[in-house]
Amino acid sequence: MKFPMLLAALVVATAIAAAQTPAPATQPAPAGNAETGKKLYVSYGCWQCHGYEGQGGAAGPRLAPRPLPFAGFSRYVRRPTNQMPPYTAKVVPDADLEHIHAYLMSRPAPPAASTIPLLK
Amino acid sequence: MASKHSVDRRDFLKGAAVTGAAALVPGSVAAEPPQAAAQAPGGAPIAGREADPAVDVEVLTTDRPGGDFMVDILKSLNFEYIASNPGSSFRGIHESIINYGNNQAPEFLTCCHEESSVAMAHGYFKVEGKPMAVLCHGTVGLQHAAMAIYNAYCDRVPVYILAGNTLDATMRRPGVEWAHSVQDAASMVRDFVKWDDNPVSLPHFAESAVRAYKIAMTPPMMPVVVVIDGGLQEDPIPPEIASRLRVPRLTTATPPQGDSGAVAEAARLLVNAQNPVIVADRLARTPAGMTRLVELAEALQAPVIDQRGRMNFPSSHPLNQSASSGSLIANADVILGLELTDFWGTVSTFRDSLHRSSRSRIKPGTRLISITATDLFSKSNFQDFQRYPEVDVAMAADAEATLPALTEAVRRLVTDDRRRAFQERRARFEQARARERDAVRSEATLAWDASPISTARMAAEIWAQIRNEDWSLVSESGNSSGWAFRLWEFNRHYQHLGDSGGAGVGYGAPAAVGGALANRKYGRLSVNIQGDGDLLYAPGVLWTAAHHRIPLLTVMHNNRAYHQEIMHIQRMANRHQRGITRWNIGTTIDDPNVDFAKVAQGLGVYAEGPIVNARDLGPALQRALAVVKKGEPALVDVVTQPR
């Protein structure tokens, strides 16, 4: 059954989404470049579970818009605690991770559901 | 074909003619061996050289072949259709079906692959509630069918398979017929069918055919195989046999209910529980299963988690709390599992990391109740039975048949105090359901205008076109993050058919065609969300849909990959840390991209695409829907986000 897999993903999604609050105003801006980050997001395969826009899905939680602050984001990517495979510094250098975070930060907020006729 | 006096395949099958055909054909050329016969130790003559029966006494026609009687049996079993990729090992019954049987009940369905035939029967059953017959060619056809048979076996779906074969080696045509013949035809699939037989006479066929139907339809339902010998199909019905041919009466078995003591204990646990949870997987064999689950859930005002092996529970019902399954399971004190594929997996987590680990998701002391017909019938080789679940009450019974007794037992135990507590529980779940509905719509806005098109957008666009129709989601392959189930309102049993059972890719398209065929006579709009990798297994089924005028809207969830495998390769690459950017090798379906619209058009199906811009999707769906409403299949190829 596909359901347990979806279930597991949603458990992860719930856990991470709970931590996805807007970044505090005092947090330093990411040093990364969003355009570079977009390319890395694709080449490293982040989209496979999280979608090209970081919107999330059955296999992985939403990453954007409003991603985790970089410190927490980096910590989870390096040593994930659930189904996500680890992305160590050996395969994704810190600088690349900053670019990816910058890409996620750059994703615009979606329209409100109330403004989309198909979702009313 | 020409038959020969005295010696035929029937005689062989009956165990006669073992001393050599020539000895039994008086006056034949072969009966006069060119050299003197030797004497065997037992005294039987040994022909100097084996010879085939004579050719000078041929009868070239017959007006009553055995295949006609086989059709009589099939008609008595009320098959609407018989699906097949044609094969010479069943040419006898094929001709009987179309001429003697007038190609009605069963009607022959022309398929392009036996895997399609069986998967069509799989989808058909889940709408119609009765089996479709399938004809498989000797050896090669049954092997082609094997994967789809395994899916049906895992999904507890009856498929009625007739497999051609020519057992009498002396009657086989030289060449291909030998390669397409086998000693024990059903052995190829015996590990994953419920029953099989190899009848050696027409009366034997009659009993086995009816017995096979009864066994297939007794929970747990599964595929069955009846081997039909070429000689039995093609040769005249012998006079001495004709007088005792009869059609056995079919009486299907009543599905087994749970033991009354176990039902009472389950009711007591459920009524006294503070946080009971009902989990349903392959529960609703029929529409009654859905109604009965609603009755039980409302008697307890208990939340239901629908694992969607069948259409078990209305998606808009306030007690449908499937989206909160994690927290519900974790906080439950009693969990009732109804026909669960994997009870252990329901109450446990498993981490797919270098060191695999698992842990329980439930609180200590949580009581588990299982009702499943699967406990009545198990096989050992194929491991679809999952981890062993340690439950407190195990009813080896059909859950749908057991629910009325369980609900009645629950009602008898409910006191006024418990009823008040139940109503408070119901109110909490109504509020949770409303919050979840808003959250789902908010989540659907993410990547709303993205290209590739988001799976949420695709589901919303389809829903906008079908929501006012009498629709049926006949298949959903390729994993689109469950958006259809989150955004659409599923309230009827035929609106969702579950999945393949065995996760054998290639099920989606043919199962959709089979489901759509069953829906056709009810005038329902059949919709299929179709994974690209799945369709590439046997796309010829689109031609079958066009040929037989089966109305079906297929919307491609085309992520241009075997995406599940991409993620597996990525996981391995991450684990091994020697490069994580080559996940595409061996997993993607691009370079070149498959033009599914052209594929479909080439198979006679109206098609549009590839659609890459979300705003083009709605109009394309409208045009395709207009074709479907005229009674034909149509396909829209949507290039999508991965999940």
10 Å Cβ neighbour count for B576?
Answer: 11
Residue B464 to residue B481: CA distance in whole angstroms: 18
Residue B498 — pLDDT band, cuts 50, 70, 90? very high
- DSSP reduced 3-state for B371: strand
- Residue ranges of the domains in chain B? 1-61, 66-242, 260-428, 445-639
Written as six digits, the tokens of B30 are: 């072969």
Query: Is B448 in contact with A6 (Cβ distance < 8 A)?
Result: no
Query: Is B454 in contact with A55 (Cβ distance < 8 A)?
Result: yes
CB-CB contact of B110 with B135 (8 Å): no
Residue B4 — pLDDT band, cuts 50, 70, 90? very low
DSSP B82-118: EEE---GGGHHHHHIIIIISTT-SSEEEE-S-HHHHH
Chain B interface includes A119 (CB < 8 A)? yes
Contacts of B324 in chain A (CB under 8 A): none
pLDDT at residue A43, rounded to an integer:
95
The CATH class for the domain spanning B445-639 reads: alpha beta
Residue B407 — pLDDT band, cuts 50, 70, 90? very high
Beta bridge partners of B91: none
Q: What is the pLDDT of residues B275-290, one digit of tens each?
A: 999 999 999 999 999 9
The CATH class for the domain spanning B66-242 reads: alpha beta
Residue B56 — pLDDT band, cuts 50, 70, 90? low
Closest CA to B406 of B365, B366, B369, B367: B369
pLDDT at residue B52, rounded to an integer:
58
The arithmetic mean of pLDDT across residues B394-418, rounded, is 98
Contacts of B281 in chain A (CB under 8 A): 1, 3
Q: DSSP character for B80?
A: S
Chain A interface includes B308 (CB < 8 A)? yes
Question: Which has more confidence, A107 or B48?
Answer: A107
pLDDT at B614 > cutoff 90: yes
Residue B545 to residue B552: CA distance in whole angstroms: 8
10 Å Cβ neighbour count for A66?
Answer: 15
Question: Which has more confidence, B614 or B34?
Answer: B614
Interface test with A, best of B446, B461, B578, B584 (most A CBs within 10 A): B446
The arithmetic mean of pLDDT across residues A39-54, rounded, is 96
Residue B7 — pLDDT band, cuts 50, 70, 90? very low
DSSP B526-593: EEEEEEHHHHHH-TTHHHHHHHTT--EEEEEEE-SB-HHHHHHHHHHHHHHTS-SS-TTTTTB-TTTT
The arithmetic mean of pLDDT across residues B82-94, rounded, is 97
Q: Which of A19-28, A79-88, B155-164 has the highest mean pLDDT?
A: B155-164
CA B395, B397, B401 angle in degrees (round to 5)?
120
Beta bridge partners of B110: B84
Helix A94-106 × helix A34-43 angle, to 10°: 110
Q: Do domains B66-242 and B260-428 have the same CATH topology?
A: yes
Residue A31 — pLDDT band, cuts 50, 70, 90? confident
pLDDT at A15 > cutoff 60: no
Residue A21 — pLDDT band, cuts 50, 70, 90? very low
Chain A interface includes B581 (CB < 8 A)? yes
Nearest C-alpha in A relative to B499? A1
Residue B492 — pLDDT band, cuts 50, 70, 90? very high
Nearest C-alpha in B relative to A52? B641
Chain A interface includes B455 (CB < 8 A)? yes
pLDDT at B16 > cutoff 70: no
- Residue ranges of the domains in chain A? 3-21+32-109
The arithmetic mean of pLDDT across residues A81-87, rounded, is 92
Question: Which has more confidence, B105 or B16?
Answer: B105
Fold of A3-21+32-109: Cytochrome Bc1 Complex; Chain D, domain 2 (1.10.760)
The CATH class for the domain spanning B260-428 reads: alpha beta
Percentage with pLDDT > 90 across chain B:
90
pLDDT at residue B579, rounded to an integer:
87
The arithmetic mean of pLDDT across residues B293-303, rounded, is 98
Nearest C-alpha in B relative to A85? B571
Contacts of B481 in chain A (CB under 8 A): 6, 57-59
Let me know how long chain A is: 120
Mean pLDDT over each residue of chain B, to the nearest integer: 92
Give the predicted TM-score (pTM) of the model: 0.91
Instruction: Name the A residues in 17-46 with CB < 8 Å from any B CB.
Output: 43-45
Instruction: Provide the H-helix boundaries in B394-504.
Output: 399-413, 416-444, 455-466, 483-487
Residue B518 to residue B474: CA distance in whole angstroms: 10
Does ipTM come in above 0.90?
A: no
pLDDT at residue B5, rounded to an integer:
40
Query: Is B445 in contact with A116 (Cβ distance < 8 A)?
Result: yes
pLDDT at B603 > cutoff 90: yes
SS (H, E, C) B304-347: EEECCCCCCCCCCCCCECHHHHHHHHHHCCEEEEECCCCHHHHC
pLDDT at B20 > cutoff 50: no
Q: Which of A8, A51, A82 faces B642 most closely, judged by CB atoms?
A: A51
Which range among B11-15, B523-527, B547-551 shows the weakest confidence by mean pLDDT? B11-15
Q: What is the largest CA-CA distance in chain B?
A: 98
Chain A interface includes B560 (CB < 8 A)? no
Task: Give the strand pairing for B81-84 and B107-110.
Answer: parallel
Question: Which has more confidence, B338 or A26?
Answer: B338
B449 burial (CB, 10 Å; 0-12 / 13-18 / 19+) is: middle
Smallest Cα distance from B340 to chain A, Å: 10
Chain A interface includes B641 (CB < 8 A)? yes
CB-CB contact of B442 with A113 (8 Å): yes
Contacts of A40 in chain B (CB under 8 A): none
Q: What is the pLDDT of residues B323-335, one digit of tens each?
A: 999 999 999 999 9
pLDDT at residue B172, rounded to an integer:
96
